[in-house]
Structure 1
């Protein structure tokens, strides 16, 4: 059973058929803040995920330790305060630090409902901080 069990990243980096034409999306210029799952860290490893992100062109900021959100810690009633406190050790500060409108590629053009339909005049607003960037 263990030999037949693979993560999605393992399937996409090491187990695709030879005639597959699949390629990862282009993430060049983006930084991925990644938190390996505890089971991955302890048993499966994170090498395939690193490899997949590197093939896509992403820079990687890899966090260590418990995220505080998985398993019963993050799902059962009464664990919110502990779960949040654990997430504040590494995950949440890293996500807040990584937040930047410049860390995201803008869409190819304005959405269909944009009144101006002009890429030059279209601005996108970050839902988190409210800053805008022109595409």
Structure 2
């Protein structure tokens, strides 16, 4: 999957506030009015992981201690995740601290996800 497709899928999920995510199966993505190669049905299902979409400003809280900045988007990433049921393409965002540390974290990292879930649950 190219970077433009990743970016489009992630931004679409952010706009729809699609969290918790729903697995997007290849057979659901196929446009039946067009003839597609049969191999497209064997692509990995896609999961867009954007818990930060539940925050008011749709950005995560910075994970750096005592930093109150709003991190900036560094890049849109993809990784293949395997479990008992199969392989999935996990799409997520890598952020960079806007403060002095300039450290990076992702919405799929253990620390980032913990903080994102805590910050989004306190908003409800």
Q: TM-score range by the shorter chain?
A: under 0.3
TM-score normalized by the length of structure 2: 0.22
Q: If each structure's helix is expressed as a fraction of its own residues, which one has the higher value?
A: 1
> Whose RCO is larger (CA < 8 A, sep 6+)?
2
User: If you compute each CA radius of gyration, which structure gives the higher value, 1 or 2?
Assistant: 1
TM-score normalized by the length of structure 1: 0.21
Q: If each structure's strand is expressed as a fraction of its own residues, which one has the higher value?
A: 2
